[in-house]
Structure 1
């Protein structure tokens, strides 16, 4: 009888999916974001950025909420329940939402998906929160990008 134990695979299918998606995302996003900001039509810039950001956040939120991707999240969620009950009265849900928007502006869809997954682990409205956060951060990022390009008199 063999005493060799089967070791769990360190690399699972969900990790490969995430890696492929991240590589594709970084390649496409660097090209597309510049194209959207430099487009003279502000509606096209906003809508395309919103669609691209929403699809990215939803995909990363799905990947990050998978049990095989972050197995320690299960333990983290259990310990978070006690803390949530303690701060529920003093830390309103809007504070969590504003944190998601700020992370979306500064870190992009990958970090926003992680933040939404961490701050709203059991929420049935995770994807709605992610969409609204993406909407607000897209408005701010596109406005800021277009105003900076207008300030330096960049021709569209």
Structure 2
């Protein structure tokens, strides 16, 4: 093999390794959840004797279902590892994802529906806002189990407290 052939081979191998490294870096940055989400509010409800629930309202930058699922997995793992909910009960982790620009005021039909389904919430138009195109991720865990039995992810409309109000105060 001549010296020129060896140099061409070294350059081609170097370029191949460089492309592989660039591809790995690109793939990891595309799926990174750093700076993708911020928790607006969360609360825990252990009042039910059989089950405990944790609810999170999570602001995201975009409705990217892959990143939403990775964020929910990350937050669930943190909650399970910190024993946020009692392990001896059935546990429900509910994550409601929204983009800040997707919030809207309640319509008259929504106010009437809330008055019928949740009569304890008075002046709901002043306390709640609707997220029309949000995503909801729910993970169900059996008692004394560290792996979820079921995980659901779906687009959904939901209500959340206006900024400055706490969801736990509505219970």
TM-score, structure 2 normalization = 0.26
The answer to which structure has the higher strand fraction is 2
TM-score, structure 1 normalization = 0.28
Larger Rg: 2
Structure with larger RCO (C-alpha < 8 A, sep 6+): 1
